[in-house]
């Protein structure tokens, strides 16, 4: 099953044509646009047998939903989001290399997009978010991910605590991040199958999420700041895990 959505902007459309072209149903470009990259993408889509339509700018703005379209959008038959029922399989397939990023209640689409980008860059197994009370896959998220949304699975969990228990039962160790934690990130062993759990932009992890984690860690900040943006924290944690695994 799938649901049709709009991919908005040059890089997201480029990513869809390059990695998932069979799901692209139509490309629309701004009539009279002179951007050479838009023209190149339109030509690529035609070569792949995808319909390309020139439309007025206001039509692109309507389907873009507030996202910056840069003169191009694509109709995309998105696959159904994965659920917690897929987590055991994902963990087993990844084995000792399993690396999950869990975001407990991130609501800013730019933050989720940036997290997906970092997760894809770190070759994470999947990004897990709650199905409710958090942002899902939107045109803004896809654009902010700079193609990451097409490269890393997104799991929408109906019950996040239950999803975390599924991971634990599959042998994945859970490290939650909290500013008041005594242990620093760099003292946590992230070389085996693990999940990095971060909370929402304002409130952090919910109580049940925190209690389900095996370890709590903090990112040391010697400067005069109390916290980092969640997407920055995710990048720091993911690439520390990557560094340990390559050491």
pLDDT tens by residue, 31-72: 988 899 999 999 999 999 999 999 999 999 888 877 788 999
CATH number of the structural domain 84-246: 3.40.1280.10
Q: Is 233 exposed, middle or buried (0-12, 13-18, 19+ CB in 10 A)?
A: buried
Structure pTM? 0.83
Q: Which residues pair with 54 in a beta bridge?
A: 29
Q: In which band, very low, low, confident or very high, does the pLDDT at 7 lie, cut at 50, 70 and 90?
A: confident
* Residue range 188-196: mean pLDDT, rounded: 96
Rounded to whole angstroms, the Cα distance separating 186 from 190 reads: 9
Q: What architecture (CATH level 2) is domain 2-79? A: 2-Layer Sandwich (3.30)
Judge whether 191 and 246 are in contact, CB under 8 Å: no
The answer on whether 219 is annotated among ligand-binding residues is yes
Bridge pairing between strands 72-79 and 24-30 = antiparallel
The answer on whether 199 is annotated among ligand-binding residues is yes
Please tell me the predicted confidence (pLDDT) of residue 1: 44
Please tell me the predicted confidence (pLDDT) of residue 31: 92
pLDDT tens by residue, 62-88: 888 777 889 999 998 877 778 899 999
Q: In which band, very low, low, confident or very high, does the pLDDT at 25 lie, cut at 50, 70 and 90?
A: very high
pLDDT tens by residue, 234-246: 999 999 999 999 9
Domains of the chain, by residue range, sit at 2-79, 84-246
Please tell me the predicted confidence (pLDDT) of residue 2: 52
The answer on whether 176 is annotated among ligand-binding residues is no
* Residue range 13-20: mean pLDDT, rounded: 86
Bridge pairing between strands 2-8 and 72-79 = antiparallel
Judge whether 212 and 104 are in contact, CB under 8 Å: no
Q: What is the rounded radius of gyration, in angstroms, for the C-alpha atoms of the chain?
A: 19
* Residue range 160-182: mean pLDDT, rounded: 95
pLDDT tens by residue, 88-132: 999 999 999 999 999 998 999 999 999 999 999 999 999 999 988
């Amino acid at each position: 099953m799938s649901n049709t959505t709009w991919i908005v902007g040059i890089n997201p459309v480029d990513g869809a044509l390059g990695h998932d072209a069979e799901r692209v149903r139509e490309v629309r470009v701004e009539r009279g646009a002179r951007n050479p990259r838009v023209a190149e993408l339109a030509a690529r889509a035609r070569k792949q047998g995808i319909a390309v339509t020139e439309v007025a700018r206001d039509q692109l703005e309507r389907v873009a939903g507030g996202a910056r379209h840069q003169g191009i959008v694509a109709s995309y038959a998105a696959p159904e989001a994965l659920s917690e029922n897929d987590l055991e399989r994902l963990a087993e397939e990844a084995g000792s290399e399993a690396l999950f990023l869990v975001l407990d209640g991130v609501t800013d689409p730019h933050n989720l997009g940036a997290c997906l980008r970092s997760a894809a860059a770190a070759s994470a197994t999947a990004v897990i978010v709650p199905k409710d009370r958090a942002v899902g896959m939107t045109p803004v998220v896809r654009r902010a991910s700079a193609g990451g949304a097409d490269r890393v699975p997104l799991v929408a969990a109906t019950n996040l605590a239950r999803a975390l228990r599924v991971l634990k039962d599959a042998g994945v160790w859970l490290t939650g991040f909290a500013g008041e934690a005594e242990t620093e990130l760099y003292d946590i062993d992230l070389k085996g199958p693990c999940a990095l759990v971060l909370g929402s932009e304002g409130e952090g992890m919910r109580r049940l999420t925190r209690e389900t984690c095996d370890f709590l860690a903090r990112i040391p900040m010697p400067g005069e700041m109390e916290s980092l943006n969640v997407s920055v924290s995710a990048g720091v944690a993911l690439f520390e895990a990557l560094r340990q695994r390559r050491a």
